[in-house]
Structure 1
């Protein structure tokens, strides 16, 4: 199984830096409270002096959304939405240990992180332009179809696992208590994105290993090396 960005995405967004991790052995009965608090403290310190919209990481995504024809204050990348909520409420609700951890890391690095249940992905997963006939399931169970040319995460069956690139994931492949295998993707487009994504991936690897006592496989993606291949239990 593999994850990648299409050639057209790399062509249109050459400043993109991305990292992907695959982890097996996920359980919902672990505590990540200490790690979450550590990463949230970083975000608190940043937000004490600047609003999320002033951060270079967020500004880069706003410019990208504008280039895609989206109003940046109507459609926000996932990390901006998280930071905005965190600034207003002072905390985020607990959902699942892996989601809680990834949300906290996303806050600390101000970069969107997508987390997918691998068992719900058919074949390979690619960030690409939509044809418009793909199927997207909302968290409330409704079905949508992406707009033609919209950037989506698409699998082999034509299912969209995220819409508007980093704006909204699908409920279909969301992490749930029975999830054991997860694909994690972080993306950024700001000036120091490559170095910052590498730091984020390393931080996630360390935190996952500490909580679940398993070692993720990971890769930093670029136009020259765009494909992250990984083995699942089903493919072994």
Structure 2
């Protein structure tokens, strides 16, 4: 069974996986057009770090993500969700500016401890869907960089991934995004996926919309 919303779909076995460890998943898609990317100045990141409080303290939302990661076989201590990884880096003072758009969603992720990913909509092919990987490497290529070299990986069987009709766009639900759909200086249209477990994502989505300064933005609730 699938839950469909236009260009998005979520397999119900992913939602059932979350429920099996006591959590309800919510996904919001922020679709933005008329974006103007470019170098970031780091101000959004600095403001987010200042507002987030103690980044080293345990956070209930990140603990929930650890539960879900373990449920599909990942090791959150080694490969944490993106929000936990960002907050760890910020706590160490190791959080460089990437570009204006990436800085915007990273700032929101740090502030609210919510995993967020951004995809260039022009690079997506067909339906973007949240599924459990089959383990068939030819059907699920994931292009990334390892030790400074471009490589193609495949997710583990049962791993939760985002993918489109071409291949995987993000591994371990929200751990690492691929290169093919990454936001670049040429990006003018994007989708930002905000993901939560037992939390209201509205404040995070509102902050993101303000930071994007797009010509048009709309929010779609996918779960």
TM-score by length of 1: 0.82
**1:80-229 to 2 correspondences below 5 Å:** 80-89=84-93, 92-133=95-136, 134-139=140-145, 140-157=149-166, 159-189=167-197, 191=198, 193=199, 195=200, 197-209=201-213, 212=214, 214-222=215-223
Distance 1:174 1:29 in 2: 14
SS at match of 2:174: coil
For the 8 Å contact 2:42–2:97, the answer to whether it is kept is no
Structure 1 Cα separation of the partners of residues 171 and 49 of structure 2? 26
Q: Greater CA deviation, 2-11 or 101-110?
A: 2-11
What's the offset of the Cα at 1:215?
Answer: 2.6
Does the 8 Å CA contact 2:29/2:191 hold for their aligned counterparts? yes
Count residues in correspondence: 208
2:63 and 2:185 map into 1 onto residues whose CA distance is: 34
Cα deviation digits, residues 70-129 of structure 1 (max 9, x gap): 22201100010000010011x521111000111011000011101111111111100101
TM, length-normalised to structure 2: 0.86
Question: Higher helix proportion, which one?
Answer: 1
Whether the 8 Å contact between 1:154 and 1:161 is mirrored in structure 2 is yes
Tell me which protein shows more strand as a share of its residues. 2
**Alignment correspondent of 2:15:** 10
C-alpha separation between the residues in 1 aligned to 2:159 and 2:39? 37
Give structure 2 stretches of 5+ with no counterpart: 1-5
- Answer whether contact 2:132 2:160 (CA < 8 A) is retained: yes
CA-based RMSD of the aligned residues comes to 1.8
Aligned pairs (5 A) from 1:47-62: 47=55, 51-52=56-57, 54-62=58-66
Q: What is the aligned partner in structure 2 of residue 227 from structure 1?
A: none
Distance 1:30 1:206 in 2: 18
Aligned pair in 2 of structure 1 residues 42, 177: CA closer, same or farther (>3 Å)? same
- Cα distance, 1:31 vs. partner? 5.8
- Counterpart CA distance in 2 for 1:35 and 1:82 is 14
Change beyond 3 A, Cα 1:202–1:32: farther
Q: In structure 1, what is the Cα distance between the partners aligned to 2:38 and 2:156?
A: 39
Q: Deviations over 1:172-226 (max 9, x none)?
A: 111111111111001111x4x1x2x1111111112223xx4x231111232xxxx
